Amino acid sequence: MISALSFRLTKRFGTRTVLDEFALEVHGGEFVTFLGPSGCGKSTALNLLAGLIPATSGEIRLDGSPIDHLPPERRGFGMVFQNYALFPHLTVFDNVAFGLALRARPRAEIAQRVRRMLQLVRLTEFEARYPSQLSGGQQQRVAIARALAVEPRLLLLDEPLSNLDAKLRLEMRSELKRLHADLRLTSIYVTHDQSEALSLSDRVVVLRDGRVMQVGTPAEIHDRPRTRFVADFMGYRNFFPVTVDRIEPGGLVVARGKDVTLTGRPVTPLAPGSAAVAAVRPEDVELTAELAGPNVVRGTVRLTEYLGREHDVEVALDSGTMVMARVERPVEVGSAVGLRLPSERVVVLPAGDGA
Ligand SMILES: Nc1ncnc2c1ncn2[C@@H]1O[C@H](COP(=O)(O)OP(=O)(O)OP(=O)(O)O)[C@@H](O)[C@H]1O
Ligand SMILES: [Mg+2]
């Protein structure tokens, strides 16, 4: 197993900078996810690491040694692409055996290893089928088995679940989680789906326009986004422009906006008088019988959407500001409600940090 992969990469296509000094150290056995919107450079970063395209400048080191000069096949990495990229004219068995056959391993060893991989992804009975005879999820599992078969030092996965329907995605997500728990293979995973990133990763790297916005554990990124961009990506839907009023002894910030005075957790030190944004997730907003008080706003229900177990509710405050809440009991459109924004769930971000 590798003990570290570190890189610092810049990539330009023409005059356009797609990755700008993207630097990271990935530890052996770690599962790291690159998370960001379409076009932020996630696939480009994976392709650079795999050696499929050259960097404009920078360096990749594996256990301390530069590997930039190595062609893809000599890096010893496994790659799973978004579109599976299986060989249509080869059976499942031969697809998985492909990399091993290239390395001219003995037949018996290949057969043993392929069967072990098919067992791992639970496709043992499918070895004689062709890709066209498999479901999307099964094809994706073949692609994963193929990448694992060569015992890669590093596994690179580019949105491997994005072509699957919602149910299969969840199943395959658990499958990937199980595989990583079993094999502890150092893995870099690319996605624009925050729930995938949170559920699979040891660490998440949030990218925007080829730059790192934040690196942290799923809990850090989720509970302490440092910018509005990251908060937005993590499902914060309510953003109140506020001015910092004072800092409480426990470190909480009291901030005043046009709709409400909120107490919340600052993600960076904020001076009284500074402009900030208070962010809250709909899931953290609570219905309350109170119509005024600390961290309480009142308004009129404009829209409700039944989700099966919960209801998404849009509430218009008197000022016109809309607040989104996800609540467990139904409320009627047109009714007046009080909403509590619990202070431990209100994140106070510096204003004007982008997005
Ligand atoms: N070969 C290329 N020539 C020119 N521009 C490119 C090339 N490959 C990628 N780009 C541009 O680089 C940017 C980053 O692309 P990349 O494929 O890395 O994004 P991504 O984050 O993987 O997006 P998605 O989530 O849509 O897959 C995009 O603006 C893309 O248009
Ligand atoms: Mg991509």
**Predicted confidence (pLDDT) per residue in 23-37, tens digit:** 999 999 999 999 999
- CB of 350 sitting under 6 A from ligand 1: no
Of 260 and 349, the structure prediction assigns the larger pLDDT to 349
**pLDDT recorded at residue 137:** 85
CB-ligand 1 contact for 40 (6 Å cutoff): yes
Per-residue model confidence (pLDDT) at position 169? 85
Query: Average pLDDT for residues 62-79, to the nearest whole number?
Result: 93
Give the Å distance between the CA of 74 and the centre of ligand 2: 23
Q: Is the CB of 192 under 6 A from ligand 1?
A: yes
Q: How far is the CA of 30 from the centre of ligand 2 (A)?
A: 21
How many helical (H) and strand (E) elements, i.e. helices and strands, does the chain have? 9, 20
Structure confidence at residue 165 as a pLDDT band (50, 70, 90)? confident
The architecture (CATH level 2) of 4-228 comes to 3-Layer(aba) Sandwich (3.40)
Write down how long the chain is. 355
Tell me which residue of 29, 26, 24, 66 sits closest to 41, measured CA to CA.
Answer: 24
For residue 43 and ligand 1, the question of a CB distance below 6 A is answered with yes
pLDDT-derived band of residue 101, with 50, 70 and 90 as boundaries? confident
Q: What is the distance, to the nearest Å, from the Cα of residue 106 to the centroid of all Cα atoms in its chain? A: 40
Q: Does the C-beta of 41 come closer than 6 Å to ligand 1?
A: yes
Q: CA separation (Å) from 59 to 2, 73, 108, 157, 322?
A: 17, 18, 39, 21, 47
pLDDT at 289: 85
CA of 132 to the centre of ligand 1 (A): 29
Q: How far is CA 64 from CA 23, 25, 33, 58, in A?
A: 15, 11, 22, 14
pLDDT given for residue 223 in this prediction:
94
39 touches ligand 1 (CB under 6 Å)? yes
* Residues above pLDDT 70, as percent of the chain: 99
Q: Does 44 have pLDDT greater than 90?
A: yes
Give the model's pLDDT for residue 224: 94
Among 17, 56, 60, 58, smallest CA distance to 40 is for 17
Domain boundaries in the chain?
4-228, 229-350
What is the residue with the minimal CA distance to atom 9 of ligand 1? 44
Mean pLDDT in residue range 214-230: 95
The percentage of the chain sitting over the pLDDT mark of 90, rounded to a whole number, equals 75
Q: Is the CB of 42 under 6 A from ligand 1?
A: yes
* Residue 291 scores a pLDDT above 80: no
pLDDT at residue 177 in the model = 92
* Smallest CA separation from ligand 1 atom 24, residue: 38
As a whole number of angstroms, the distance between CA 105 and CA 72 comes to 19
Per-residue model confidence (pLDDT) at position 353? 63
Q: Please check the confidence at residue 55 and state whether its pLDDT lies above 60.
A: yes
CATH topology of domain 229-350: OB fold (Dihydrolipoamide Acetyltransferase, E2P) (2.40.50)
Distance CA 86, CA 99 (A): 12
Mean pLDDT value of segment 240-251: 93
Alpha carbon nearest to ligand 1 atom 7, residue: 13
Mean pLDDT, the chain, as a whole number?
92
For the segment 220-248, the average pLDDT, to the nearest whole number, is 94
Ligand 1 pocket check for 227: Cβ under 6 Å: no
The alpha carbons of the chain give a radius of gyration, in whole angstroms, of 24
Mutate to test the pocket of ligand 1, among 11, 12, 44 (most ligand atoms within 8 A of CB): 44
177/168: higher pLDDT: 177
Q: What is the pLDDT of residue 355?
A: 41
Mean pLDDT of all residues in 64-69: 96
Nearest CA to ligand 1 atom 4: 13
Look at ligand 1, atom 6, and give the residue with the nearest C-alpha. Answer: 13
pLDDT reading at 85 higher than 70: yes
Q: Decide if pLDDT at 178 tops 50.
A: yes
pLDDT at residue 39 greater than cutoff 70: yes
